[in-house]
Amino acid sequence: MTKNYLKLQFYSLPRNQAFARDAVAAFCLELNPSLSDLSDVKTAVSEAVTNCTVHAYKGNLGLVTIECEIEENSLHIKVSDTGKGIADINQAIQPFYTSAPSDERSGMGFTIMQTFMDEFKVNSIQGEGTVVYMSKSFKAEVENA
Amino acid sequence: MVVTGYTKNKILYISLSGEMDECASQAARAKCDKLIEDNLSVSKIVINLSDVAFMDSTGIGFLIGRYKKAAKLSIPLYVDKPNFAADKILNLSGIYSLIPKAE
């Protein structure tokens, strides 16, 4: 019965990372998430958006699009860019793999998205962009008697 | 992100406060490294995370970077009081084997 939709589009500026994760967190508040679930969502969104800034557009200005959909007690998130794309997705999602080791990158971004969300998928075409899909279901809040 | 530090009994205590993401990390790195460079005679460094309200994987990269810097100077590094969410990320990364929690 619950259905809701949000679309956000913004420049890939580092200062928009906090705005993006906070906006998505605020949007999913209607699902009464636990603090731990809310923190997981914020972190996963932060990872996806940071990838757009750091990798997809490599510091150049581009557009990041986030679409969120609430369906029953689930939150579906799609983060897309039109940046350079990922050459080898299997390699990119390996824990600790980073294409920029000199920048103190942990290589844990995709691992965190995978671990913190229930569903995770990434599609990418080189030269065209990358789309990350993530979903999380929230446990129905137990009403106080 | 606010970075503050003080020394006591030859220990450098560094406190981070705010949100640790890619946007905040560069300035935090510079301030943290300055504190380390200004206190080379300490016997250990403790980074207090209790006021870090948010942390993504940038925090892992940040801590490993400071670990490498401290290791070159033969100074052991510890983290203290990560909140629940930061602890989850740090556990996932296995970083505690390099940078243990302070007792």
pLDDT, residue A141, reads 61
**Nearest Cα to Cα of residue A117 among A59, A61, A48:** A48
Does B30 touch chain A if contact means CB atoms closer than 8 Å?
no
Report chain A residues whose CB lies below 8 A from the CB of B98. none
Q: What are phi and psi of A32, to 5 degrees?
A: 50, 50
Option in A17, A46, A104 nearest B64 (CB): A104
Average pLDDT of A11-40?
Answer: 96
Give residue for tokens 């930061």.
Answer: B86
Per-residue pLDDT band for A145 (boundaries 50, 70, 90) equals very low
Per-residue pLDDT band for A103 (boundaries 50, 70, 90) equals confident
What is the torsional sign of CA B4, B7, B10, B11?
Answer: negative
Spatial distance between the Cα atoms of A140 and A121, rounded to a whole number of angstroms: 25
The residue of B21, B32, B89, B93 whose CB has the most chain A CBs within 10 angstroms, and thus the best one to mutate to test that interface, is B21
Q: What are phi and psi of A28, to 5 degrees?
A: -90, 5
**pLDDT tens-place string over residues A114-129:** 999 999 999 999 999 9
Spatial distance between the Cα atoms of A14 and B103, rounded to a whole number of angstroms: 35
The residue of B19, B52, B56 whose CB has the most chain A CBs within 10 angstroms, and thus the best one to mutate to test that interface, is B56
In this prediction the ipTM stands at: 0.92
In DSSP terms, A66 is beta-bridged to: A8, A79
Please, what is the angle between helix B84-93 and helix A35-51, to 10°?
50
Report chain A residues whose CB lies below 8 A from the CB of B87. none
Spatial distance between the Cα atoms of A13 and A108, rounded to a whole number of angstroms: 21
Q: Supply the mean pLDDT for chain A.
A: 93
pLDDT, residue A144, reads 52
Task: Tell me the three state secondary structure of residue A9.
Answer: strand
Tokens of A138: 């929230």
Tokens of A105: 């990158």
pLDDT, residue A11, reads 98
**Nearest Cα to Cα of residue A76 among A145, A138, A143:** A138
**Nearest Cα to Cα of residue A52 among B60, B23, B28:** B23
CB neighbour burial string for A6-24, b if at least 16 within 10 angstroms, e if fewer: bebebebebebbbebbebb
Does A36 touch chain B if contact means CB atoms closer than 8 Å?
yes
**pLDDT tens-place string over residues B9-68:** 999 999 999 999 999 999 999 999 999 999 999 999 999 999 999 999 999 999 999 999
Average pLDDT of A19-40?
Answer: 96
pLDDT, residue A124, reads 97
Report chain A residues whose CB lies below 8 A from the CB of B22. 14, 17, 50, 53-54
**pLDDT tens-place string over residues B75-91:** 999 999 999 999 999 99
Per-residue pLDDT band for A65 (boundaries 50, 70, 90) equals very high
